[in-house]
Amino acid sequence: MRALVKAVPVAVAAAALVLNVSPPQSSLQSAASSGQQAAAAAPAVPLVRATPTKVMPIGDSNTGGADAAAGGYRTDLWQLLRADGRPVDFVGSLRAGSAALGDHDHEGHGGWTIQGIHDSVAGWLQTYQPDVVTLQIGTNDMYDDTGAGLAPGRLSALLDRITQTAPNARVFVTSIPPTRIEADQRRTQAFNAAIPGIVAAKVAAGKQIGYVDTGTAYVAPFDLMDNVHPYYGAASRAAVKWYAALTDQTVSRYEAEQTANAAITHAVRTTITSASGNGKVGYIDFDDSAVVFTVQVGAAGNYRVRARGANGMGTTCSHRIAANNGPQQPVVYPSYSWDLFHVTAVDVPLNAGTNTIRFTKGDCYTELDAIDLSPTPTA
């Protein structure tokens, strides 16, 4: 038996905490030629590719990673892509991240404004030649009315520079997280509201740009570790939205600690900010321990369950998973720590309508945060 680190009993809300995420409706379907349209129909990060898809995460400290895992959304985005077996290579001139992030390269520059990124981005793009750009920038422009007022125009100019320098890259731009400071939050909301229109104008001009609303993955002030930086667990929810956009998957996240999502037996709900919904289930240690999710799907078929688990045992551990009381399969997690999570994917058959997905103890001990569910990807 092992101890739960930094964890205390959690007060569980009665309502379900389910994050439903669909791919963005973006300009990627509005390319100038039929050849571009055919290319755009494929996921930005496909399952099969002769060489890894090069992804350049660009932004400020929320891209670089001010959270406990030192990777922002990059940590779980990389985990989700690799859980599918997608060949991917994060690229950039900076390196940061924990053991939970297998590729530390990025262009997340702490304290930088939109203009700062604009003035440097061409060199990064020319050096690394990414296939995909993920862009989250603007938080450091929200500290006064002048900077916030100029931010939409500067973002438009930045997108032009990116698409002019790397015309074949798929570009995804997102809203920025909320802030605890009231005046800055008003500016943030106005800036976020302007981004879809900026993207629409680029779409009309034939640019390969998509909008991803990751800002709504956060709830201020609960998901913020300070005034502007989300916790590791909250960044995980944003990563699901990035993943859906880059893979054209529709994904539902179910939190293990929420009573409306899962029933637990001989296990313990705990709170911790590294968990997606600020809670996880630990002490799944006994033969009768179980976490049983109830999920709804529209059609029968094979579905991918991506389990986010924390293992601090110093060796590989596992859960057992079964759908609708069917055959069990192992869900295997490497050991990072009790505060760092790994995403493992397992495919299960589900029926149309209501299903159960049951996790039980496997080898040694792992704590369960959440599962992400989608039809098994084919592209």
Mean per-residue pLDDT for 40-69?
94
- Taking 3-state DSSP, the helix, strand and coil percentages for the chain, each rounded to the nearest 5, stand at 30, 30, 40
The CATH code of the domain that includes 328 is 2.60.120.260
Residues 159 and 228 in one domain: yes
Percent with pLDDT over 90 in the chain: 87
Residues 258 and 216 in one domain: no
pLDDT at 295 over 60: yes
Mean per-residue pLDDT for 227-236?
95
Residue 17's pLDDT is 52
Residues 225 and 357 in one domain: no
Residues 259 and 240 in one domain: no
Q: Answer whether residue 295 is part of any domain.
A: yes
- The runs of H, that is alpha helices, within 166-210 are 182-204
DSSP-based three-state secondary structure for 352: coil
Residues 228 and 92 in one domain: yes
Q: Answer whether residue 18 is part of any domain.
A: no
Q: Answer whether residue 3 is part of any domain.
A: no
Mean per-residue pLDDT for 226-252?
96
pLDDT at 239 over 80: yes
pLDDT at 237 over 70: yes
Residue for token pair 């998973």: 321
The CATH code of the domain that includes 132 is 3.40.50.1110
Calpha distance 91→132 (Å, rounded): 10
Provide the residue range defining the domain that includes 365. 8-13+253-375
Which among 79, 8, 20 has a CA at the least distance from the CA of 257?
A: 8
Residues 160 and 287 in one domain: no
Residues 89 and 105 in one domain: yes
Calpha distance 244→46 (Å, rounded): 12
- Say how many domains are in the chain: 2
Q: Answer whether residue 227 is part of any domain.
A: yes
Considering 249, 269, 292, which residue would you say is the last residue of a domain?
Answer: 249
Measured CA angle at 364 (ends 362, 370), to 5 deg = 60
Q: Answer whether residue 82 is part of any domain.
A: yes
Considering 231, 249, 267, which residue would you say is the last residue of a domain?
Answer: 249
Q: Answer whether residue 99 is part of any domain.
A: yes
Residues 167 and 67 in one domain: yes
pLDDT at 15 over 80: no
**What secondary structure, in 3-state letters, does 53-108 show?**
EEEEEEECHHHHCCCCCCCCHHHHHHHHHHHCCCCEEECCCEECCCCCCCCCEEEE
**What secondary structure, in 3-state letters, does 286-338 show?**
CCCCEEEEEEEECCCEEEEEEEEEECCCCCCEEEEEEECCCCCEEEEECCCEC
pLDDT at 125 over 50: yes
Residues 134 and 279 in one domain: no
Residue 162's pLDDT is 98
Considering 229, 249, 269, which residue would you say is the last residue of a domain?
Answer: 249
Torsion angles phi and psi, residue 214, rounded to 5: -80, -15
Digit-coded pLDDT (tens) for 331-362: 999 999 999 999 999 999 999 999 999 999 99
Judge contact between 95 and 106, C-beta under 8 A: yes
Confidence tier at 19 by pLDDT (50, 70, 90): confident
Digit-coded pLDDT (tens) for 164-219: 999 999 999 999 999 999 999 999 999 999 999 999 999 999 999 999 999 889 98
Digit-coded pLDDT (tens) for 268-293: 999 999 999 999 999 999 999 999 99
Which among 124, 125, 127, 57 has a CA at the least distance from the CA of 88?
A: 57
DSSP-based three-state secondary structure for 250: coil
